[in-house]
Amino acid sequence: MAEYENILVEQREAVTLITLNRPKALNALNAQVLADLIAALAAFDADASQGCAVLTGSEKAFAAGADIKEMAEMGFADMYGTDHFAGYERITATRKPVIAAVAGYALGGGCELAMMCDFILAADTAKFGQPEIKLGVSPGMGGSQRLVRAVGKAKAMEMCLTGRMMEAEEAERAGLVSRVVPAADLVEEAVKTAATIAGMAPLAVKANKEMVNAAFETGLAQGIQFERRLFHALFATMDQKEGMAAFVEKRAGNWTGR
Ligand code: CO8
């Protein structure tokens, strides 16, 4: 498997575990981390033996944001001219599911990175925030948009304008995270959840991910139409025949991904 500078990648059966590994900077996201992440996710997506990925950080920090030291001297031309941070959107092009397993700080770009994943499992130590306003800037990797869709305008606006952090329990109540688990169990629980997903029919996994994401990106009528067409299309797969036959015969499905 490829070696990376700022992340660790490990395969646990059909689950790819990606760990951000820049401990000296609390996993701050610089250009090299982005390059490593995109390469690792592309390799995961292309590997037919892998069904679901988990992206995690350290106990102290999932990621404390974009690298402030890297950005400090940049001007408008450097930012706008290179469309800085646009590369992160490539993470959302991953077709198989990616679960964010967040312990400790997920701030700024770290919170935005977690929200680019398909869902977030949080340790009871997790803290989410968009503190960019304290640096005289704003979210720049989708945070102002995804946070509103996740927790509603009131909480998102308060967080962006004050930079205050949201603890795990509040994040679960607000719908930002799917579940909170004890910090010591976070990675195991995320890998177990990912293994459950990796055990489903692969085409149905991709279709479910695509249609739930359509709810984020389209209006209701268009989203429902998209869901129905994909649902119809799944009836052209062998795994639909297998899954329904297995139910009738009271046994587990044996998926072929066809
Ligand atoms: N960038 C670079 N280095 C960082 C970052 C960061 N985001 N966060 C922490 N570090 C470094 C620290 O500088 C320190 O390094 P050193 O030991 O060399 O001084 C090391 O990590 C440890 O950090 P602390 O000593 O500060 O650890 P504490 O436990 O005292 O504090 C905090 C932890 C509260 C997380 C604190 O580090 C902090 O506030 N970090 C910054 C959080 C932040 O503001 N994040 C947002 C950054 S901006 C962003 O992500 C969005 C970019 C969008 C801009 C769009 C422009 C187009």
pLDDT single digits (tens) 37-79: 999 999 999 999 999 999 999 999 999 999 999 999 999 999 9
Q: Does the annotation mark 188 as catalytic?
A: no
Residues 192 and 240 in one domain: no
Helices marked H in the chain — which ranges? 31-46, 68-71, 76-81, 109-116, 143-151, 153-162, 168-174, 186-198, 202-217, 220-234, 238-248
Q: Are 138 and 61 in a shared domain?
A: yes
Whether 228 and 186 map to the same domain: the answer is: no
Question: What band does 115 get if pLDDT is binned at 50, 70 and 90?
Answer: very high
Q: Verify whether residue 86 is a known catalytic residue.
A: no
How far apart CA 109 and CA 85 sit, in angstroms, is 9
Is residue 186 in a domain?
yes
Is 210 noted as a catalytic residue in this protein?
no
Same domain (yes/no): 150, 99: yes
In a domain, 1, yes or no: no
Residues 111 and 218 in one domain: no
Mean pLDDT (the chain) is: 96
Ligand 1 pocket check: which of 24, 26, 30 to mutate, most ligand atoms within 8 Å of Cβ?
Answer: 26
Q: Which domain holds residue 146?
A: 7-198
- The reply to whether ligand 1 has any atom less than 6 angstroms from the CB of 130 is no
129 and 235: one domain?
A: no
- Mean pLDDT on 184-201: 98
139 CB near ligand 1 (under 6 Å): yes
Ligand 1 mean position to 164 CA, how many Å? 15
Mean pLDDT of 18-47: 96
Looking at ligand 1, which atom is closest to the CA of residue 130?
46
Catalytic residue (one of 104, 112, 123, 171)? 112
Residue 224 lies in a domain: yes
In this model, does residue 239 exceed pLDDT 90?
yes
pLDDT beyond 80 at 10: yes
Both 126 and 235 in one domain: the answer is: no
> Which atom of ligand 1 has the smallest separation from the CA of 69?
2
CATH number reported for the structural domain that contains residue 223 in this entry:
1.10.12.10
**CATH code of the domain in which 182 resides:** 3.90.226.10
Q: Which atom of ligand 1 has the smallest separation from the CA of 25?
A: 21
CA-wise closest residue to 206 among 150, 146, 257: 257
Exactly one of 57, 109, 110, 129 is catalytic; which is it?
109
Number of domains in the chain: 2
Task: Return d(Cα 46, Cα 54) in angstroms, integer.
Answer: 16
Q: What percent of the chain has pLDDT over 70?
A: 100
Res. 142 pLDDT band, cuts 50 70 90: very high
Q: What is the pLDDT of residue 164?
A: 98
Confidence category of residue 85, pLDDT binned at 50, 70, 90? confident
Residues 222 and 176 in one domain: no
Residues 133 and 220 in one domain: no
Position 2 in a domain: no
- Which residue in 64, 132, 140, 171 is the catalytic one? 132
Asked if the structure places residue 217 within a domain, the reply is yes
129 assigned to some structural domain: yes
Looking at the fold, whether 169 and 83 belong to one and the same domain comes out as: yes
pLDDT bin (cut points 50, 70, 90) of residue 87 is: confident
76 in ligand 1 pocket by Cβ < 6 Å? Answer: no
Residue 258: inside a domain: no
| Both structure tokens of 27 | 């996993």
pLDDT of 166 above 90: yes
Is 202 close to ligand 1, i.e. is its CB under 6 Å away?
no
Question: Higher confidence at residue 64 or residue 84?
Answer: 64
Q: Is residue 254 part of a domain?
A: no
Question: ∠214-181-206 over CA atoms, to 5°?
Answer: 25
Residues 123 and 218 in one domain: no
The shares of helix, strand and coil residues in the chain, as percent rounded to the nearest 5, are 50, 15, 30
Same domain, 147 and 241: no
Q: Per-residue pLDDT for 1 more than 80?
A: no
Residue 132 among the catalytic residues: yes
